[in-house]
Structure 1
Amino acid sequence: MNSKITSISALEILDSRGNPTLRAYVTLDDGTKTSASVPSGASTGLNEALELRDDEKRYNGKGVQKAVENVNKKIATALTGMHAVDQKAIDYTMIELDGTENKSKLGANAILGVSMAVAKAAAVSSNLPLYRYLGGSNTLRIPVPCMNILNGGEHADNSVDFQEFMLVPHGAPNFKEGLRYVAETFHVLKKILKDKGLATSVGDEGGFAPNCASNEIAIEFIIKAIEQAGYQSGKDLSIAIDSAANSFSPNLDDKYDLTKSGAGKMTTDQLIDLSGEWLKKYPIISWEDPLSEGDWDGFSKFTKKFGDKIEVVGDDIFVTNRKYISRGISEKTANSALIKLNQIGSVTETIEAVQMCREAGWRYFLSHRSGETEDTFLADFAVAMDGGHLKAGSACRGERVSKYNRLLEIEHELKGRAEYRWK
């Protein structure tokens, strides 16, 4: 196998929000050529790896020409001649070349684009699908799709404080049917909203973004859609929530401002009490970022109270970084970590974060970003990591549907050997 890297390059492309991002290309001496495109988040944690942007007028300061130049010159020079199958050595060579804690010199977008393209190239050169190359010969589990069906917070200009309300088809027999469950319910919800005279435009991730009278009414619309679609809530389909509490905690601490929806201001304890009321009333099985990234004590209190009933997921508080996940494990801050490749900035470090969760008995939840591309790397990566669930957006917008369609392909390739289960 001739997996030696002969060239690396990058260019500036646009993501799903029309903002620049980076696409990296890797060529091997056996003729293999692959590319990978880097996603970008809107609701971000303070400790995420730095997405390098240009400080100039073009694209309102969001250009990535500096990151592209870093790939074309510094990274290409450092990695040419290395073997693509040496993923860890390649990633840590880039990390050392950058030399900063948050990848601010080269840019996490530059490093990740190359890291992903290298993994793809090694898979092609090895004549293996990407999920099998990264996950091994026993990779069989297709994740349950946690589909974003209604948006609020940073992902929509509406009156809903909480960022994502997701449908989870854990009662389906396989991925193909699970995807059908959520897609059908998505379209039923559209009709319900339309009949109520509410907007059926969608947010960044494809979920509807109506102006609801309260956060709770958003959930009730979803329950109604599940039932009208012919499914049983709590059995066929349940709900996952991403509060993205940073967006309504002005100082990222233990005080919360939910005046956008009319719920007013709350303390940590009041927000936890509200969550408890919802958990009694609604079939919620997963709750992401119920509190802000600075409210570590509140997170632990939430987990102690509800962690035996639901999956409590840390996103902004952990940012796919082993330093923060380790603290969370020690302090029992949550029982699951959201995993986003571009939060940490390399394939190897993302895998290491997953391994840390596994060793602690935690769950881990693979995720897209609000600014996505048509690249399907995430779908293969989610299968390879065997986490059991994935959020990749709604049943519309091509950059979201592309991930689901890739998972349909993988399930088809695996035939009867494919596994599908929530836990």
Structure 2
Amino acid sequence: MLGVSMAVARAAAVSLRLPLYAYLGGPTARRLPVPMMNVINGGRHAGNKLDFQEFMIVPHGAPSFSEAIRYGVETFKALKKGLERRGLPTTVGDEGGFAPDLESNEKACELIVEAITLAGFTPGRDIAIALDPAASSFFSNGAYNLASGEQFSREDMLDLYARWVKAYPIVSIEDGFDEADWDGYVAQTAAIGDRIQIVGDDNYVTNPKFIAEGIRCKATNAVLIKLNQISAP
């Protein structure tokens, strides 16, 4: 389905003598989205003690897409130097981010803020942080079970995210709750959805019916669309 869809889009663009971006984005399409770059891996994507799956950087202060890539590359290199200075490994996880064995999830945010500064940028103004906890991966028996042995309730997770948003330049949180914990998503969006992007992925799985339900109950204010992913209701 995905291959046919891509081929049809390209064929339609050619038939109209338009570049693909103009066919997909319309006549006013001029800008690419701000990239989100995975720099520290945890969870099932890495063999370390981090519970959260992805810690990303978002170079939203860059004046162009090419400059955003440069911001990201320079910060990634600064992060590597910071890890090496601490004697931590700089091997990467499944999705290209470093996979150090840190003492806590919060330490990853601290290291990223340090790397942004070392690269010569201002945290929050030039480069921000995005999280993908993939909370379904550590949720069982009604609780969020961390590698530290702690068990967090939905309310505990809400408090943790709210505290981190105040302490670090976080602009996006994806899959902060279990895929079936819709009340968690709704509560988080109501609490801090006016300040950051609350992204649904595992709870929507690119299924139009689930996305419509998310819109109806205001579960998130953003959705991740994967053209090669859909789950039946």
User: Which band: TM-score by shorter chain?
Assistant: over 0.9
> Paired residue for 1:281?
167
> Paired residue for 1:257?
145
Q: Does 1:142 align with 2:32?
A: yes
Identify the match of residue 234 of structure 1 among 104, 114, 124.
124
Matches within 5 A, 1:344-423: 344=230
In structure 2, do the counterparts of structure 1 residues 175 and 331 end up closer, same or farther at CA, with 3 Å as the change threshold? same
* Shift of residue 120, structure 1, vs aligned partner: 2.3
SS at match of 2:179: coil
Q: Does 1:187 align with 2:77?
A: yes
Identify the match of residue 189 of structure 2 among 294, 298, 303.
303
Q: Which amino acid aligns with 1:318?
A: Y
- TM-score of the pair, normalised by structure 1: 0.53
Q: Which amino acid aligns with 1:298?
A: G
Give the gaps of 5 or more residues in structure 1: 1-110, 346-423
**C-alpha distance after superposition, 1:203-233 (max 9, x if no partner):** 1221111111100101111010001011110
**C-alpha distance after superposition, 1:267-290 (max 9, x if no partner):** 111111111111111010111111
Identify the match of residue 292 of structure 1 among 158, 174, 178.
178
> Paired residue for 1:362?
none
Any conservation in 2 of the 1:296–1:333 contact (CA below 8 Å)?
yes
* Shift of residue 136, structure 1, vs aligned partner: 2.1
Identify the match of residue 60 of structure 2 among 160, 163, 170.
170
Q: Give me the whole-angstrom Cα distance separating, in 1, the residues matched to 2:18 and 2:119.
A: 39
Q: Give me the whole-angstrom Cα distance separating, in 2, the residues matched to 1:193 and 1:263.
A: 25
Q: Which amino acid aligns with 2:146?
A: L
Q: Does 1:117 align with 2:7?
A: yes
SS at match of 1:312: strand
Identify the match of residue 266 of structure 1 among 142, 145, 152.
152
* Shift of residue 114, structure 1, vs aligned partner: 1.9
Any conservation in 2 of the 1:289–1:316 contact (CA below 8 Å)?
yes
Q: Greater CA deviation, 319-328 or 227-236?
A: 319-328
Matches within 5 A, 1:61-210: 111-210=1-100
- TM-score of the pair, normalised by structure 2: 0.94
Q: Which has the higher contact order (CA 8 A, sep 6+)?
A: 1
* Shift of residue 130, structure 1, vs aligned partner: 1.6
SS at match of 2:62: coil
After TM superposition, the runs of 4+ consecutive aligned structure 1 residues lying more than 3 A away are 124-127
Identity of aligned residues (%): 56
> Paired residue for 1:387?
none
Q: Give me the whole-angstrom Cα distance separating, in 2, the residues matched to 1:117 and 1:201.
A: 37
Q: Give me the whole-angstrom Cα distance separating, in 2, the residues matched to 1:331 and 1:277.
A: 25
CA-based RMSD: 1.5
**C-alpha distance after superposition, 1:80-128 (max 9, x if no partner):** xxxxxxxxxxxxxxxxxxxxxxxxxxxxxxx212222222233334433
Q: Give me the whole-angstrom Cα distance separating, in 2, the residues matched to 1:258 and 1:308.
A: 28
Q: Give me the whole-angstrom Cα distance separating, in 1, the residues matched to 2:92 and 2:15.
A: 40
* Shift of residue 129, structure 1, vs aligned partner: 2.0
Q: Give me the whole-angstrom Cα distance separating, in 1, the residues matched to 2:46 and 2:19.
A: 36
* Shift of residue 256, structure 1, vs aligned partner: 0.7
Identify the match of residue 205 of structure 2 among 304, 319, 340.
319
* Number of corresponding residues: 231
Q: Give me the whole-angstrom Cα distance separating, in 1, the residues matched to 2:210 and 2:89.
A: 39
SS at match of 2:228: helix
SS at match of 1:138: coil
Q: Give me the whole-angstrom Cα distance separating, in 1, the residues matched to 2:3 and 2:103.
A: 42
Point out the structure with max Rg over C-alpha: 1
Q: Which amino acid aligns with 2:190?
A: K
SS at match of 1:317: coil
Q: Give me the whole-angstrom Cα distance separating, in 1, the residues matched to 2:67 and 2:24.
A: 26
Any conservation in 2 of the 1:214–1:263 contact (CA below 8 Å)?
no
Q: Does 1:343 align with 2:222?
A: no
Q: Give me the whole-angstrom Cα distance separating, in 2, the residues matched to 1:119 and 1:174.
A: 26
